[in-house]
Amino acid sequence: MKRADDFASRRQHLAGLSDEELKKRFWELAEKIVEPMLELGRTHTTPAVERSVLLRMGFSSLEVKPIVEGVIAKGLMGKGAGNVVWRLSKKLGISVREAGVALSQGQHWDVVDTLF
């Protein structure tokens, strides 16, 4: 069975749009599709996931544990531990590595409070 070609009828609602309007519509629809996935990421992370992210950023397991505990204590799990480290590094003008090590040693948590 051959499928009927209905492209012309399905695109009628888009036919009058300019290239710029088509781009705008595309990005609106893309955001609509991605938003539920982003929300799941915000609401369904776990300490294990956050530790895994930090390990992949190059931190040792000894460094990761206090960072994740600090992120939990600050109520920032939904922001992501890696994001916390990255934002701190940008705020202080230091490397991500330096920021993470400092957090693991209990430093700069007061600055983290100002980032979100």
Let me know: does 109 contact 103? Beta carbons within 8 Å: yes
Instruction: Quote the pLDDT of residue 41.
Output: 77
Let me know: does 76 contact 66? Beta carbons within 8 Å: no
Going residue by residue through the chain (116 aa), what tens digit of pLDDT does each one get?
A: 888 889 888 989 999 999 999 999 999 999 999 999 888 877 888 999 999 999 999 999 999 999 999 999 999 998 999 999 999 999 999 999 999 999 999 999 999 999 98
Give the whole-angstrom CA distance, residue 11 versus residue 16.
10
pTM: 0.67
